[in-house]
Amino acid sequence: CILILILCIFVYFCNKTLQCFIGLPDLVGDPYYIQASAYVQSIPMYNLRCAAEENCLASTAYSSSVRDYDTRMLLRFPQRVKNQGTSDFLPSRPRYSWEWHSCHQHYHSMDEFSHYDLLESSSQRRVAEGHKASFCLEDTSCDYGYYRRYACTSHTQGLSPGCYDTYNADIDCQWIDITDVKPGNYILKVSINPSYQVPESDYSNNNVHCDVRYTGNYVYVSGCHISQY
């Protein structure tokens, strides 16, 4: 009876799945990758139409008074996410419910894979934000001894253990729209799997914080590190 009770408790805490046996994914960002390649760029609205469709701009960009030749100031940065867990990180949505975005010609398999916040350095008040729906979860590269199994070209999405999903700074929505942000000192917060839509073995390494000094024309990013919150 005692053995049965122990087994029942074990199954309960495993959420009645085999996760205790097959493991879980564990995503972690690369702070140095962000720090090395962040920059600001001014872009006219007519080049941001696809991004606007995916709500990747600040709310003021959607005003009826905004014209095609008006510009937006974007804080761009790359992102490289590693799955250092023991199981695949799979999209939160089943394949049949992925959303096709015709403007960018790709499927979104998650509502939000990453969330980006720009916080005031002194008060931690959020002054701007961005998000990254899953552009296409894939094994961009892998550590030695691991092999790519997910690729956008084969219409499969996921991130294998020992592999990295990399987003360059020059792709749409890999930014925060800081058009309305005043020059000053800020904190860039990058959160991976922010709503915990996909179970992981460890959520304490899902955030990256960076110190940001914005002059109005240039940005200086330093001190990027993994943060628990």
Tens digit of each residue's pLDDT, the chain (229 residues): 555 445 445 444 454 444 454 699 999 999 999 999 999 999 999 999 999 988 899 999 999 999 999 999 999 999 999 999 999 999 988 888 888 877 767 777 888 899 999 999 999 999 999 998 877 899 999 999 999 999 987 788 999 999 999 999 999 999 999 999 999 999 999 999 999 999 999 999 999 999 999 999 999 999 999 999 8
Tokens of 213: 């000094």
Q: Which of 82, 91, 86, 89 is nearest to 23 (CA)?
A: 86
Measured CA to CA, the distance from residue 138 to residue 54 in angstroms comes to: 20
**pLDDT given for residue 216 in this prediction:** 96
Exposure of 151 by Cβ count < 10 A (0-12 exposed, 13-18 middle, 19+ buried)?
middle
Measured CA to CA, the distance from residue 214 to residue 177 in angstroms comes to: 13
Considering the entire predicted model, what is its pTM? 0.87
Q: Which of 203, 185, 168 is nearest to 36 (CA)?
A: 168
Does the CA dihedral 135-137-143-146 come out positive or negative? Answer: negative
Buried b (16+ CB within 10 A) or exposed e, 160-192: bbbbbbebebeebbbbbbbbebeeeebbbbbbb
Measured CA to CA, the distance from residue 93 to residue 222 in angstroms comes to: 35
Measured CA to CA, the distance from residue 67 to residue 199 in angstroms comes to: 43
**pLDDT given for residue 2 in this prediction:** 57
**pLDDT given for residue 1 in this prediction:** 59
**pLDDT given for residue 17 in this prediction:** 45
Measured CA to CA, the distance from residue 140 to residue 152 in angstroms comes to: 10
Exposure of 51 by Cβ count < 10 A (0-12 exposed, 13-18 middle, 19+ buried)?
buried
